[in-house]
Amino acid sequence: MISLRNECGYSLAPLPKGFLVTIKLPCATEHRASTIVIRACRFGTPAILLMLLVWQWYPASAQQPDSVPVSPTSLTVEQVVHNLVQMNLQRVQALHAYQGARTYRIEYKGFPGDRSAEMAVKVKCLSPGKREFVIQSTSGSKLIIDRVLKKLLEAEEEQLDPEIQRRSALNEDNYRFTLIGFENTRAGSRYMLSVEPIRKDKFLYRGRIWVDAGDFAVVRVEAEPAKNPSLWIKQTDIVQVYAKVNDFWLPAYNHSATAVRLGGHADLTIDYKTYEITNASQVSGLPTSRSTLHAETASRVQPVVHIAQTKAP
């Protein structure tokens, strides 16, 4: 039997000899993500790799419709980021409890053979920082269900740690932001921003985000990990979209596609549905004007703009 280690400190059941699994798992209380890496201490011959990468962000937003030609922006990048951070905080403080359903699906194609699995889950999210999961059904590979999908649920609860939340929050402490466009879509106007992590951190990502111009909520993310979680991984692409439920933006769909160096390919999708807000207060508005920042606020977010205009180290 091969012993396993876990970078987040979880106690995990052993895998078959030569099996390696790397999972990118999010924290669901703000825009953030974290990584669990499960490695066998030694590999048999041949080595086997299954990489599954999943990101989630909360609060969330809706899938991007087809866009019409770009219009000029009315706010600067400092103002958009400030408003986004402030409104995320307001939504987190106002959303006390909700519930919904998720369907997890995994498709792996490659050596030593194709595998797939599916799991339906009922979720209750309680504030502050509590998640309750009820597995309603499973099908497919028992190995993937027990060693991957169920571990995703366990890990999501662990990601509520305040230190992990601080390190992975979508704000100027962790990212450089650049305003790259403004879109008018059928679902509303959106700011397009590129995000670059300030440091190489397994909890961060690089890519693009779309921010709703009215609610200042992230509605779409297209990204890759800031730090490759494994030498076995060639490329990982993540798409996360969100839907508005009452006053809140919650995850709607997640797709992670991972190419591994042994020639395999893993796809993980999460569909979120049947949301019900069970306890919430009114979402407060922005503490400052959406077009003008106070001097002290501008000075606080200004370093984001300076850094965004320089080349990342």
Per-residue pLDDT of 275-285, as tens digits, reads: 999 999 999 88
Whether residue 305 has pLDDT greater than 60: no
The 8-class DSSP code of residue 4 comes to: E
> According to the model, what pLDDT value does residue 61 have?
33
Query: Cβ contacts of residue 291 below 8 Å, gap of 6+?
Result: 74, 75, 79
Least confident of 46-60, 61-75, 126-140, 293-307: 293-307
- 260 falls within a domain: yes
Examine the pLDDT at 187 and tell me if it is beyond 80.
yes
> Tokens 């996360």 belong to which residue?
240
Residues 6+ apart with CB under 8 A from 287: 86
Is 202 inside a domain boundary?
Answer: yes
With respect to residue 254, please indicate whether it lies within any of the assigned structural domains: yes
Domain count, the chain: 1
Return the higher-pLDDT residue of 291 and 246: 246
Range(s) of the domain holding residue 91: 4-308
Q: What is the pLDDT of residue 230?
A: 74
Q: How far apart are CA 72 and CA 145, in angstroms?
A: 48
Q: Is 118 domain-assigned?
A: yes
Residue 189 has pLDDT above 70, yes or no: yes
Predicted pLDDT at 33: 38
* pLDDT above 70 for 154: yes
Backbone phi, then psi, for 135, in 5-degree steps?
-75, 120
- φ and ψ of 109, to 5 deg: -125, 125
What is the pairing mode between strands 265-280 and 95-109? antiparallel
How is residue 124 written in tokens? 């209750």
Listed as own residue / partner, the contacts of 208-212 with beta carbons closer than 8 Å and 24 or more positions apart are 208/180, 209/170, 210/61, 210/64, 210/183, 211/80, 211/84, 212/61, 212/188, 212/249
Whether residue 313 is contained in a domain is answered as no
**Residues ≥6 apart with Cβ < 8 Å to 114:** 107, 108
Does residue 240 form part of some domain? yes
* Mean pLDDT in residue range 238-243: 96
Q: Is residue 126 part of a domain?
A: yes
Average pLDDT over residues 94-105: 96
How far CA 191 is from CA of 84, 234, 237, 284, in Å, comes to: 11, 30, 21, 21
Is the Cβ–Cβ distance between 177 and 84 less than 8 Å? no
pTM (predicted TM-score): 0.70
Beta bridge partners of 196: 176
CB 116 within 8 A of CB 140: yes
Looking at residue 287, its pLDDT comes to: 67
| Residue 296 placed within a domain | yes
**What percentage of the chain has pLDDT greater than the value 90?**
48
| Window from 57-61, 217-221, 299-303 with minimum mean pLDDT | 299-303
